Structure 1
Amino acid sequence: MEAPAVLLVMGVSGSGKSTVGALLASKLGWKFYDADDYHSEENRMKMGRGVPLSDQDRIPWLCSLHDILLRAVASGQRVVLACSALKKTYRDILTRGRGAVPVKGDESAKERLAGEQLLVVYLCGSFETISRRLSQRKGHFMPPELLQSQFGVLEPPSGPENFLQVSVDQKSPAEIADAVMEALQRK
């Protein structure tokens, strides 16, 4: 099997997406994007007040990320994207763009990433482990109080999604990145 063009490192806040994603990008020599860098100021302020984002808040952000991925893949660039992508519909938007969002009367078919072009790396862990990590994180706009809402909406990847699952419990970011690299070599 050919290597994917995009690694989507996903999970709840505090699972290590940004750290593991940056490590993977460095090891692979790929471009790294952190989805948090692309949130609107309104989304950042809302989360900073402890208010979970709604689907309506997330859809434009996810569509923008989809466009970034498409441009990168079209130019031959391979990408690691760290993004919560908590719901299957969010991952569909990252793959298919606005075409994954049901809109009445809109039959436009935007370009899509083929399923095998995107590999989801799901960083999973216990609420306790991730809560402890969040309590130690400083200076992030996502407050620890929103963790329960993230676990509440989380839809872990499943078939037919192209994914691998890595537990973050009792593993360092470097160990997690190494586990992903080993899995990529086996694929």
Structure 2
Amino acid sequence: MIYILMGVSGCGKSTFGAFLSEKLGWPLYEGDNFHSQENIEKMAQGIPLTDEDRLPWLLKLHDVIQSERSSKSNALVACSALKHLYRQILLYGSKAPTSSSGSDQEILPATCPDVFFLFLHGDYDLIYQRMVARKGHYIKADLLCSQFDALEPPLDEDNVLVLDIRKSFSDMATEIEKHILSLKSSVML
């Protein structure tokens, strides 16, 4: 099973991902480590990434997800996955449907049964305060507005578990453990 920790910069993907990785004993793939140097420099200068900037990065993460899925491993991936299209690219790579794909596009299921998104959800003010307080990260608080502008909340998508970041890491981890148990129970039935 793969859980993709998603949300705007500063919502806690990396920190909570490390906590969850230790708790579950699953590897964590930190999405920031897969960005090109050009993307990192752009964001460090306060310039939001475009869809074109993000595509190679999302395809690299898709490859990681597919590798873990094909080996039937459990893993965590931290990735902003702000838009529905980005989530589809993470699931399906270059086969993901795009608006310019035309009618010959392969019909793909809306979700993968073993990949779930953990949407770390919080309000702008809380996340802004966290970003101002953090040290040593190349994405600064001035990019947060563009992150919220780009965000297409996955609230109506089937493979999403929404986690309130005001809760403790332990409480959020308990929700995920219950989700894992419910999935295992449904497979056994």
Q: TM-score range by the shorter chain?
A: 0.7 to 0.9
Alpha-carbon distance in structure 2 between the residues aligned to 1:113 and 1:30: 25
**1:119 aligned residue (102, 116, 119):** 116
Pair 1:85-2:50 in alignment: no
Alpha-carbon distance in structure 2 between the residues aligned to 1:25 and 1:113: 27
TM superposition score normalised by structure 1: 0.87
Counterpart residue number, 1:133: 130
Alpha-carbon distance in structure 1 between the residues aligned to 2:150 and 2:125: 17
CA displacement, residues 9-37 of structure 1 (integer Å, 9 cap, x when unaligned): 10111110011112222222211101001
Alpha-carbon distance in structure 2 between the residues aligned to 1:124 and 1:174: 16
Counterpart residue number, 1:152: 149
Change (3 A) 1:89 1:108: closer
* Residue ranges of structure 2 left out of the alignment (5+ in a row): 184-189
CA displacement, residues 44-89 of structure 1 (integer Å, 9 cap, x when unaligned): 0000000000000000100010011111111122110011000010
Aligned-residue CA RMSD in angstroms?
2.3
Secondary structure of 1:115 counterpart: coil
Contact 2:4 2:115 in 1 (8 A): yes
Secondary structure of 2:156 counterpart: coil
Contact 1:87 1:154 in 2 (8 A): yes
| Identical counterparts, % of pairs | 40
* Residue ranges of structure 1 left out of the alignment (5+ in a row): none
Give the alignment of 1:20-169 within 5 angstroms. 20-100=16-96, 102=98, 115-169=112-166
Give the alignment of 1:173-184 within 5 angstroms. 173-184=169-180
Secondary structure of 1:157 counterpart: coil
Contact 1:31 1:77 in 2 (8 A): no
Q: CA deviation at 1:104?
A: 6.2
Contact 1:10 1:84 in 2 (8 A): yes
